[in-house]
Structure 1
Amino acid sequence: MNEMWEEVPEESEQLNQLQPEDTLDDRGIDDVLDEGYSPPERPSSLSRYGEHETLDQRLAEEEPEVWQREEAGDYVDDGEVGDRRAGRLVDPNGGSGEDVDSELLGADVGIDGAGASAEEAAVHIITFL
């Protein structure tokens, strides 16, 4: 058998990202995983038809203005949006012990000193009149 094909790297080595010294693109970072990824703000123009589009095709690509999207029938105000943000929600027993309640209960213990996570920022207090 050919010696070149006898040594196959492990799967983890095959899936590793190339480090900057192994690529032609040097961005001045030590680890490529530290760089991150910023998605494009607009859809790619490659998904478009081309130069000789009909007027109907061009009009179909246009996006409506923000004020046109919220028509009377599209928005339902059912009072499920609170104005005040809730802080951290903690189990009534402080998170210790067995959870014997069949309902999800939590007490607002105020805003944490650090920034709120996306989930915490999404929770608002609803007051019923």
Structure 2
Amino acid sequence: MSDEAMGDEVYQPSASDTETPSGEPDMEDALDEPDYDDMLDQGYSPPEKPLAVNRKGTTANEQREGESLDERLAEEEPDVEPPDGDGIGDQQDAAGEPVDGQVGDERAGRMTGTDEGDALRLRNDEIGRDVGIDGGAASAEEAAVHIVDDPDLSR
């Protein structure tokens, strides 16, 4: 080294040494959980109420004392069972079964196309003929089909 070299000229930092951190942690060096970077993308919303702050047993003194059986039983909540109904379609807060005038009462079987002629094909409706319930079990979609009376058509 020459005598003329100044201290500033001896060590010059490289460009990577002078970069300032952006504020986000480096995910390669993160020690938390493997999906920590995903949590940074979606954010975290804390619960709206404290979970167990007001419960007994949160302090060390309360934990040493413990809880009596009566205190533990007082914290229990009874199991709530829904009221008994008459089956499918029960609504707890309604006056009864929902009624829809466009839904038929009689269940349809297998549907096939009709050969009624060109006059019926001019309409926009799809027209089919019920050929009866199949001997096998119907799928949920087939069981949901019901016959609706159309006053314009005769069966």
Tell me the TM-score normalised to structure 2 length.
Answer: 0.31
For CA contacts below 8 A with separation 6 or more, give which structure has more relative contact order.
1
Larger Rg computed on CA atoms:
2
TM-score (ref. length: structure 1): 0.36
